[in-house]
Amino acid sequence: MPCSSTTRNPFTGAEAPAVDVKVDGMSKSYAGVEVIRDVSFSVESGEIFVLMGPSGSGKSVLLRQVAGLESPTSGTVRLSGHDPREEATRDHVKLALVFQAGALFNSLSVYDNLALYPREHRQGNEKAIREKVMHSLKILSLENQEGKFPSELSGGMKKRVAIARALVMEPQLLLYDEPTSELDPVMSATIVEIIGTLKDQFKVTSVVVSHDRALAMSIADRVGILMNGRLISIGPRSELEHPKDPVVADFLQPKIDIGHPRFKQLENQNQKAIQ
Ligand SMILES: Nc1ncnc2c1ncn2[C@@H]1O[C@H](COP(=O)(O)OP(=O)(O)OP(=O)(O)O)[C@@H](O)[C@H]1O
Ligand SMILES: [Mg+2]
């Protein structure tokens, strides 16, 4: 359930204050083109908030503003009251972002990918770092994979390594960008289960950007729908079953009209190619 007041460190078991997210009137433009338009929402501590929307609607851009990787053009993002763009915020809020494409370093082994952050931040000696890395790999069912390089991993394993690397950062807030894209249904279900487990066991607050309705239906506490840069709907996951807004319904259950002229045109092209 959401509203946790503390998170639990996955390695030490130590408790830390849980993190909430507040986005208020946020817009983002690139070269004068507005891609996020006056978006406001909040994520309670310990909650899984799933952000859905069509390709190009601005989901990754929105997540980058929440992570503090970029500054919104207007409006504010606050993580437990702190601006993610400020250096001092890292003293109060530990966040980790699981990137859409994994963003693993191809020249580094799985072990070194995970050890990079704790080494750079001088989090203990090599023995302590090793313990943390191996524990993260175990949580993600990646035992004995530490010596492999990203090119030797399947897509599903890469996603799990990316999550394990985020976990090493001991996050209170986990941001996932399309964690199940390009995966088969079984591997998608595994990743969904992992996201739910990280929330249940460690009480991390999670924002998950996804096209995956099955993911939203199984783990979301609340779901936001982003269309063309605007947050057009926000509510509990049960609302996905019978959306009131026809635009939302159309996105969730698109109807393909095979009588549409575009399909006829394709059919003609195919027939010509065969002849
Ligand atoms: N750095 C950038 N500079 C200029 N335009 C950008 C930049 N990043 C994103 N955009 C534009 O912002 C819009 C939203 O992009 P975004 O990557 O957030 O989409 P998305 O919803 O994550 O799509 P997908 O589901 O395909 O990942 C797109 O039109 C994109 O071209
Ligand atoms: Mg994206």
Residue 40 inside a domain? The answer is yes
DSSP collapsed to 3 states, 173-233? EEEEECCCCCCCHHHHHHHHHHHHHHHHHHCCEEEEECCCHHHHHHHCCEEEEEECCEEEE
**4-62 pLDDT, tens per residue?**
688 887 777 778 778 999 999 999 999 999 999 999 999 999 999 999 999 999 999 99
- Give the sheet arrangement for strand 48-52, strand by strand: 95-98, 173-177, 205-209, 48-52, 222-227, 230-236
Cβ proximity of 77 and 36 under 8 Å? no
Residue 257 domain-assigned (yes or no): yes
The reply to whether 136 falls in a domain is no
**Residue 16: which domain range?**
6-94+170-274
N- to C-terminal Cα distance for the chain?
A: 60
**Closest residue by CA, ligand 1 atom 5:** 30
Element (H, E) at 15: strand 15-17
Q: Give 62-107 pLDDT, tens digit per residue.
A: 999 999 999 999 999 999 999 999 888 888 888 999 887 768 899 9
How remote is the CA of residue 223 from the centroid of ligand 1, in Å? 20
Contact in structure between 77 and 66 (CB atoms under 8 Å): yes
Task: Tell me how far apart the alpha carbons of residues 242 and 66 are, in angstroms, rounded to a whole number.
Answer: 29
**Is the confidence at residue 205, as pLDDT, over 90?**
yes
Residue 146 lies in a domain: no
208 against 211, higher pLDDT:
208
Task: Tell me the C-alpha distance between 98 and 169, whole Å.
Answer: 11
Any domain includes 145: no
Asked whether residue 194 is domain-assigned, the answer is yes
How many independent structural domains does the chain possess?
1
| C-alpha span between 195 and 209 (Å, rounded) | 12
Tokens 């524990």 belong to: 135
Q: For a pocket test of ligand 1, which of 29, 35, 209 has the largest count of ligand atoms closer than 8 A to its C-beta? A: 35
**Residue nearest atom 27 in ligand 1 by C-alpha distance:** 55
The CATH number covering residue 186 comes to 3.40.50.300
Q: What is the DSSP secondary-structure string of 28-61?
A: EEETTEEEEEEEEEEE-TT-EEEEE--TTSSHHH
58 touches ligand 1 (CB under 6 Å)? yes
**Residue 139 belongs to some domain of the structure:** no
Please choose from 29, 34, 39, 59 the residue to mutate so as to test ligand 1's pocket, defined by most ligand atoms within 8 A of CB: 59
Q: Is residue 213 part of a domain?
A: yes
For residue 234, report the phi and psi dihedrals to the nearest 5 degrees. Answer: -150, 130
Q: Kindly report the average pLDDT of the chain as a whole number.
A: 87
* pLDDT per residue as tens digits for the range 153-193: 888 888 889 988 988 888 899 999 998 887 788 888 888 98
Q: Give the C-alpha separation, 194 to 143, whole Å.
A: 15
Distance, CA 178 to ligand 2 centroid (Å)?
7
